[in-house]
Amino acid sequence: MKVSIVGAGIMGLGTAWALERLGHQVTIFEQGTVPNPQGSSVDQHRLIRYPYGPAEGYMKMVGDSYAIWDQVWADLGETLYRQTGTLCLAHTGAKWHQESIAALERAGHRVESLSSTELAKRSPLIETANVEAAYSLDSGGVLFAERIVAALARRLAGRGVEIRTRTQVVEIDPDRGFVTLADGTVVGADALVVAAGPWAPRLVPSLRPRVKPSRQVLAYLVPPDDLKPLWQASPMLLDIDPDVGFYAVPPRDGTGLKVGDHRFSLSGDPDGDRIGTEAEIAVALAACARRLKRFDEYRIDRLKACFYTVEPDEKFIIEPAGLSTYVMSPCSGHGFKFGPLLGSAVAGAIDAGEPGDIAAWAAGATR
């Protein structure tokens, strides 16, 4: 079967990887380069972690995702992941915090609650006086996102997948699986997958009332020299404060220390500039100043603006969008870790000729 895919981020590449393994002929259309620095998938790293609050379906999907990543590493011949462990900070009684612990323990995960004294020993980077509750897990780590996208693209090209870069799709025919390119060329296929990130609503009108492109600014920080070894050994930090929380991605294998805001801007144009401002990251930096010792000695190395598409409940939209088309819109910031898993589900639906329960499962329902 001939399958066209719009978008060469982790969703498009993950789907192409699964389709090629099933014996299908795949062409990917990417409006930029691969990796595309404008894409939702392209940055130094993304996190994979089990805590998910009340979203128990996604928590359970993480284990399946790890299994698929192991298949990807075997195919690539390298493991582009490093385990860090997970450290969550929260207010005592915070709902997301308590729901995560309950779901994790039901699933058999070992969750270690930390007193202030234990937290100080475990993580000397943290200003423990400002932490009411904390827990840690051994699981969780860093996916080297840009390296993964580049390696998958090389592997797919070597296996006969056509990746057409700098080729913009301006229109689709969802019932016939056709795409129209910017130069007017129409390319046919037996099936089509739209995995175009924040540009997907332009091609799939039914997405427009359901998702919003969201500009997110991230900060790469340089800590004081004497704290750098501590960060190299630090787990990922999830500060679960709904008003001023942040996440911190620890440096590994040459990557930087990155912090970002849990909140979504729900605004911006993905074709606009990608120059971040300190005002856009001010809330997350204020949270860092409250939680991290000697934060006044850190400096900003660079700011990066990226775009996600956000569904109001942060649920993934993976579903048929016509007789021959599937749309993938799982870019709410937590989609990267599920890329090959979701892609394998779409590939399986195309191969079987019917979607099954893919939409409900992708939206977080447990199987």
pLDDT in tens, 217-241: 999 999 999 999 999 999 999 998 7
Top-level class of domain 2-46+145-210+313-362: alpha beta
Q: Examine the pLDDT at 284 and tell me if it is beyond 70.
A: yes
Tokens coding 53: 């609050």
At which residue do the structure tokens 């910017």 appear? 182
Assigned CATH topology for domain 86-138+212-310: D-Amino Acid Oxidase; Chain A, domain 2 (3.30.9)
**In the sheet where 178-181 sits, what is the strand order?**
169-173, 178-181, 186-187
Q: Can you tell me whether residue 150 is helix, strand or coil?
A: helix
Q: Could you read off the pLDDT of 147-204 as tens digits, one per residue?
A: 999 999 999 999 999 999 999 999 999 999 999 999 999 999 999 999 999 999 999 9
Q: Could you read off the pLDDT of 263-282 as tens digits, one per residue?
A: 888 999 999 988 899 999 99
At which residue do the structure tokens 């990130």 appear? 197
Which residues make up the CATH 3.30.9.10 domain(s) of the chain? 86-138+212-310
- Per-residue model confidence (pLDDT) at position 367: 63
- Per-residue model confidence (pLDDT) at position 161: 98
The full length of the chain comes to 367
> Which pLDDT band holds residue 80 (cuts at 50, 70, 90)?
very high
Q: Please state, in angstroms and rounded to a whole number, the distance separating the CA atoms of residues 26 and 191.
A: 10
Which residues make up the CATH 3.50.50.60 domain(s) of the chain? 2-46+145-210+313-362
- Per-residue model confidence (pLDDT) at position 97: 87
- Per-residue model confidence (pLDDT) at position 86: 97
Q: Please state, in angstroms and rounded to a whole number, the distance separating the CA atoms of residues 221 and 249.
A: 10
Average the pLDDT over 53-69 and give the result. Answer: 96
- Per-residue model confidence (pLDDT) at position 55: 92
Q: Examine the pLDDT at 242 and tell me if it is beyond 70.
A: no
Q: Taking phi first (over 0 means left), then psi (-120 to 50 degrees means alpha), and beta for anything else, what does residue 257 get?
A: beta
pTM over 0.85: yes
